[in-house]
Structure 1
């Protein structure tokens, strides 16, 4: 990104779950973002009829380093061109329109996910994966498909990667892990019960833990040592399975994998070549 952004998307994601005073500040910022970028903490507190302490608490609730980072992100948002809103698909719409709308939704959630990811968190996750003896990925439903995609990628990179869809089998694999192994938990809501139990068991067994959830505080993101976030934009009401959320999760897995390949290129590229050759031999 040429400039840091994502402040408004973060606020929209969590505004309804914030305490009253922080919610007032968030709504004030969302209503007049252009004016907030030049304000001090005191001025924002006065404008939103709250307190300076509440402004600081809001920044902490957003997991930001401080008010300056919030202002920088909002300033980046203000500089960007406004994008189309997410939209549900209605009965009787043309295939042409559905193609355009789903494409727009996909582009938007990927861009918002870029804004939610912290560079330092991604770097730490990549280093943790490199140091791990084995990688265990777990998710339920559409998130399970994302976990399976991660397994396929890291297997081809020469890593021991496991993804078992059955929760009992997945829990069983954690009984023989080593402390440098890593568990990657995937859940859009961050509240999927089976994934919570999986992460708790992983931590109990001393594993390093990484989560991929929507932005905001959740049980899974709080349990994980390294929380990675996607956009928290809600899915369309009519759907047979996750669409935008799955795309965002796959995007995070792709970022982790490509960063891993780039950082450890010499040791990974040989494994990738061997796996490609093995597949080509079967054709």
Structure 2
């Protein structure tokens, strides 16, 4: 879909010719009265646009949203003058300032979408599993391997035996040695990496629990007990800004904070002892 920095209305204008006739009627109504649409239910909009409620639902999915509620939230944000929810891919002829703004807009939009779409119930389940873990292993390859290392850096400070592996041979061997009290966090932007999926299968066969951080509905999710879906699509041009990696890092931050809170006051004291241990290594000026 063509996208524009002008906001959601520009996105709808660009997408209109690719919609079905009935979906285009919904787009036309939204474009003619964007502010009033925010006050409508899906039933009221379908009546106003002269289409069925399922058509409105299909329209929302066609323009990139999970449903009518999601669409209205993003419409309100776009009309309110906040962070734009749409962005353009970086072009070779973009001035430096424009290219930089596009990269930042894409990153901010991805983080806002993550905030709005995170399932608190699934998040609670993941936090419970991690809090009870005797050992946590983070698996990822390529850029996801970098996220796994960041996760290991955050979680070892919580006093949980933690390791990160990005070599498929190593995480496959390690997975075979896990047990029912251990947890694997498998990180993958697309959720289709065969080596990672195989290691997850090995870990589950050994009795370990598996948490996935990946795209919803991907092959990896079928092998995870709990999946935290990001559903962020990177710029597929050569100027990719890797926004999926940023959302994965944000999820790791969220999990680390929530696990620390779940583990109680003693965890806070433990973190403070860790901070004190490195203060002497800093310059006094």
The TM-score, its normalising length taken from structure 2, stands at 0.74
1: distance between equivalents of 2:257 and 2:42?
Answer: 38
Bigger drift between 152-161 and 98-107 goes to 98-107
Q: How well do the aligned residues superpose, as a CA RMSD in angstroms?
A: 3.5
Q: Could you say if the C-alpha distance between residues 121 and 171 of structure 1 is closer, same or farther in structure 2, counting changes exceeding 3 Å?
A: same
2:180 corresponds to: 179
2:34 corresponds to: none
Q: Is 1:140–1:187's contact at 8 Å kept on the other side of the alignment?
A: yes
Give the C-alpha shift of residue 261 in structure 1.
1.8
Alignment of 1:4-19 (within 5 A): none
Task: Check if 1:272 corresponds to 2:276.
Answer: no
Task: Check if 1:234 corresponds to 2:234.
Answer: yes
The size of the alignment, in residue pairs, is: 247
2:101 corresponds to: 100
2: distance between equivalents of 1:100 and 1:231?
Answer: 22
Give the C-alpha shift of residue 213 in structure 1.
1.0
Q: Is 2:74–2:85's contact at 8 Å kept on the other side of the alignment?
A: no
Q: Could you say if the C-alpha distance between residues 160 and 242 of structure 1 is closer, same or farther in structure 2, counting changes exceeding 3 Å?
A: farther
2: distance between equivalents of 1:30 and 1:269?
Answer: 52
Q: Is 2:78–2:85's contact at 8 Å kept on the other side of the alignment?
A: no
Superimposed CA distance per residue, residues 234-278 of structure 1 (whole angstroms, 9 cap, x where no aligned partner): 324123x76211111111111111111222241322222232233
The TM-score, its normalising length taken from structure 1, stands at 0.74
Q: Is 2:42–2:53's contact at 8 Å kept on the other side of the alignment?
A: no
Q: 2:42 aligns with which of 38, 41, 47?
A: 38
Unaligned runs of 5+ in 1: 1-7, 9-22, 65-69
Q: Is 1:88–1:238's contact at 8 Å kept on the other side of the alignment?
A: no
Q: Is 1:147–1:186's contact at 8 Å kept on the other side of the alignment?
A: yes
Give the C-alpha shift of residue 122 in structure 1.
0.7
Looking at CA atoms only, which structure, 1 or 2, has the larger radius of gyration?
2
Give the C-alpha shift of residue 187 in structure 1.
0.6
Give the C-alpha shift of residue 27 in structure 1.
6.0
Give the C-alpha shift of residue 109 in structure 1.
0.5
Ranked by relative contact order (alpha carbons within 8 Å, sequence separation 6 or more), the top structure is: 1
